[in-house]
Structure 1
Amino acid sequence: MRIPSIIRLPRYKNFDYTPRHYDPVKEDIEERTRKIKNDMNEDAESGTTSSIAGAFRRKTGSSFTGTNYSTSLLQLVIAVILLGGFVGYLFYGNQVFYFLMLGVPVYLYFRFRGIFFKK
């Protein structure tokens, strides 16, 4: 029987590897046949061909790659506030929190009014 302990001792790690073979030619052929079948189904349903609509449809299925400007600006402001609060606390003590309690609402007021920052 094992004695319970607070310290976790490292154990060996099992590694299970199942090799897979990647065939780019086969994958390319399957991708082309899938696209052709989809195009034939769309043509049969709509009666017309639209390569532009298909291009937009393929783009919407892709993963989200970028962030918009306002989100990145908000993340930057939050990071600056947290870093400024930490550094200010180290230098000035609790007084920096009073400044932040005044500064954050002022920033939010100007932000939502659209005076300094455009939405």
Structure 2
Amino acid sequence: MKFPSIFRTNQPRRFQINPRHYDPVREEIDQRTQSIKRELEARGVLESEQKLKEDRGYRHGSSIRGAFTSGSPIKKQPSSVMQSAGLMRTIIFVLLVGGFGGYLYLGPDFFYYVLYLGVSVALLIGLFKLKPKKANE
């Protein structure tokens, strides 16, 4: 049974090999097919695939290709430092360890000190947000 952890552990990398098989018969068939297509396109009997795509309106490829991965929140990088999961875990860890250490060192009065400190910081932030900005800045 795995215990929950706030830190991510590395998993061992797995060896993955994609086998490649060379089939000379298939290779020859593909080459002949390509040469016959080129001859027919040169004669004008067969239209090229690129021209068919342009006639159908597929100039920029399929509109659904990549639509699921582009909207996925997993692939997006955090836009600010505070959205980073690692930083948030570190902040929570430091607060918990600091709170536990402060409680052991000062006793229950530590939480009152933290409450007063938090309220005073919030008031200072509010004061600086209400302060009018200078015209030349």
Question: Shorter-chain TM-score category?
Answer: 0.3 to 0.5
TM-score (norm 1): 0.38
Larger radius of gyration: 2
Q: Which of structures 1 and 2 has the larger relative contact order (alpha carbons within 8 angstroms, sep 6+)?
A: 2
In terms of fraction of residues, the more helix-rich structure is: 1
